[in-house]
Amino acid sequence: KEIRGEFLPIQTNVPGFEMCEHLPLQAAMADKLAVVRSLRFANPNHDRSLNFSGFPDQQKRPAFGSVVSRLRSADQTDRLHYVSMVDRHPEQPYLEEPLYAGSDHQPFRLGTAGKIKDLSLPNGITIDRLADRRQLLGAFDNLRRDMDTKGNFKAMDKFQRQAQEIVTSPKVRDAFDISQEPARVRKKYGKLETHPYSRTTLTWDPDRLLMARRLVEAGVSVVTVSIGQWDHHESIFPTLRWQLRRFDQALTALLTDLQERGLDEEVAVVVWGEMGRTPVVNRDGGRDHWGDSGVVLFSGGGLRMGQAIGATNARGERPNSKPIGTQNVLATLYDVLGIDPSHTLPDFSGRPVHLVDDHEKIAELM
DSSP states of 233-290:
SB-HHHHHHHHHHHHHHHHHHHHHHHHHTT-TTT-EEEEE-SSEE-SS--TTB---EE
Q: What is the pLDDT of residues 267-295, one digit of tens each?
A: 999 999 999 999 999 999 999 999 999 99
DSSP code of residue 320: S
d(CA 348, CA 359): 22
Q: How many other C-beta atoms can be found within 10 angstroms of the C-beta atom of residue 133?
A: 11
Q: What is the pLDDT of residues 57-98, one digit of tens each?
A: 889 999 999 999 999 887 655 678 999 999 877 777 778 999
pLDDT of residue 222 exceeding 90, the answer is yes
pLDDT of residue 141 exceeding 60, the answer is no
CA dihedral 327, 287, 299, 183 (to 10 degrees): -130
Q: What is the pLDDT of residues 104-119, one digit of tens each?
A: 899 988 864 434 555 5
- Mapping DSSP to helix (H, G, I), strand (E, B) and coil, where does residue 85 land? strand
DSSP code of residue 144: S
Burial 161-172 (b: 16+ CB within 10 A, else e): ebbbebbeeeeb
Closest to 53 (Cα-Cα) out of 67, 45, 63: 63
How much of the chain exceeds pLDDT 70, in percent? 81
Q: What is the pLDDT of residues 240-272, one digit of tens each?
A: 999 999 999 999 999 999 999 999 999 999 999
* Pick from 4-8, 26-30, 97-101, 171-175: least confident: 171-175
- Mapping DSSP to helix (H, G, I), strand (E, B) and coil, where does residue 362 land? coil
pLDDT at residue 217, as a whole number: 93
pLDDT at residue 176, as a whole number: 83
Closest to 82 (Cα-Cα) out of 94, 67, 95: 67
